[in-house]
Amino acid sequence: MNRSESMEPNRKMVEQQPSGKWSLQDFDIGKPLGKGKFGRVYLAREKKIEKYRLHNQLRREMEIQSSLSHPNVLRLFGWFHDDERIFLILEYAHRGELYGELRKSGHLSEKHAATYIASLTRALAYCHDKHVIHRDIKPENLLLDFEGRLKIADFGWSVQSRSKRHTMCGTLDYLAPEMVENKAHDYAVDNWTLGVLCYEFLYGVPPFEAESQTNTFRRIVKVDLSFPPTPHVSAEAKNLISRLLVKDSTKRLSLPKIMEHPWIVKNANPTGTCVD
């Protein structure tokens, strides 16, 4: 999982340890701040704070995913822990990550791509109805069951909110322009990602991929979109992608309109299964 969100420092007060209980192992040691006659001063951070932040984020992820019940969302049945580890009890996805299938084949057929996009659209409509924004949909976070039915997994960057958000999070190639520009965002970031994924399913690479992070950001903000000439991608598919990869988030194709789009209607398997 590629998680790039810069989280705000935790505000929880540090509890004073009993005298003599501190040790070097309790801290991450940072840069030197100064040097005196009898010693040196370093910036340090108590590891327990980092542990608390991680647990807080993981708790949010578990609470959101366990509350969702949809055929295209990987079920989280429960969890337990010991002194060092947290164990998640997840639905089994027999065929693993969609990423592996995409890398193996290079690109998907229009029928498979449309079926996966339709399944994703239905799942996101369900999530958005429950005020959940996923914010990190990518092939690595999409799993396939025995029949090739798609399952959204990894809700690590998801949030349940009725208001706009401001935290930049997710994975570089799939970020919406409003995130790249550090503007407020809402459910429409998931709609943008559907356009990125549809392009990647059909062409084998994300649409704004570049040789550097800076250039990728620039291409996303400009919506520098082009379609290489290839006979296996129809004009209808390009039309759907173009209507999702729109800089103004209010003008992106809505989830219900995606399901009505001619390319989806013509190509998607209504059962949601993809087995060759």
Give the residue numbers annotated as catalytic, written as ranges.
136
Distance CA 208, CA 224 (A): 7
Distance CA 262, CA 48 (A): 53
What is the 3 state secondary structure string of the chain? Answer: CCCCCCCCCCCCCCCCCCCCCCCHHHEEEEEEEEECCCCEEEEEEEHHHHHHHHHHHHHHHHHHHHCCCCCCECCEEEEEECCCCEEEEECCCCCEEHHHHHHHHCCCCHHHHHHHHHHHHHHHHHHHHCCEECCCCCHHHEEECCCCCEEECCCCCCEECCCCECCCCCCHHHCCHHHHCCCCECCHHHHHHHHHHHHHHHHCCCCCCCCCHHHHHHHHHHCCCCCCCCCCCCHHHHHHHHHHCCCCHHHCCCHHHHHHCHHHHHHCCCCCCCCC
Radius of gyration of the chain (CA): 22
Q: Is the Cα torsion angle 156, 139, 194, 125 positive or negative in sign? A: negative
Lookup result for tokens 């049945």: 77
Lookup result for tokens 């356009």: 195
